[in-house]
Amino acid sequence: MRSARILAVDDEPANVEILARYLASKGHVVTGAGDGEQALAAMKERSFDLVLLDLVLPGRTGLEIMAEILSLTRAPVVAMSGQSDDDTRHDAMLLGATGFLPKPLDLTALCALIDALPESDA
């Protein structure tokens, strides 16, 4: 798989750092955002091949941010949440998420999901 430009959105800086280091070791370029507003600002500044979006963010909900992100880009959005109940997953997928990963993240599953995306997406 080619290198993907990935936006990682999580209000826990340690989670963004782990994602950035791990995905960089796999050849991807990661930009981090700590909340929805930072994510939207990043989306307006550059294009991304994939967005990893925590659904529990300060301020607006991750689902609200996802709706706005999906209005700005055709890049796939993978929702992440420690609240991995069926309702959360269903709401994210119904809104347009390409995938859902429960937290704590399984980095192997994340890479498998990235690798499964069509080449034109990531």
Number of helices and strands in the chain (H, E): 5, 5
Report how far Cα 59 is from the mean position of its chain's Cα atoms: 17
pLDDT for 18: 95
Distance, CA of 107 to CA of 111 (rounded, Å): 6
Letter for the amino acid at 94?
A: L
Return the domain boundaries, the chain: 5-116
Q: What is the domain class of 5-116 according to CATH?
A: alpha beta
Q: Are 113 and 101 in contact (CB under 8 A)?
A: yes
- State residue 101's pLDDT score: 92
pLDDT of residue 122: 46
Q: Which residues does the chain have with pLDDT short of 50?
A: 121-122
Q: Which residues contact 71 (CB under 8 A, 6 or more apart)?
A: none
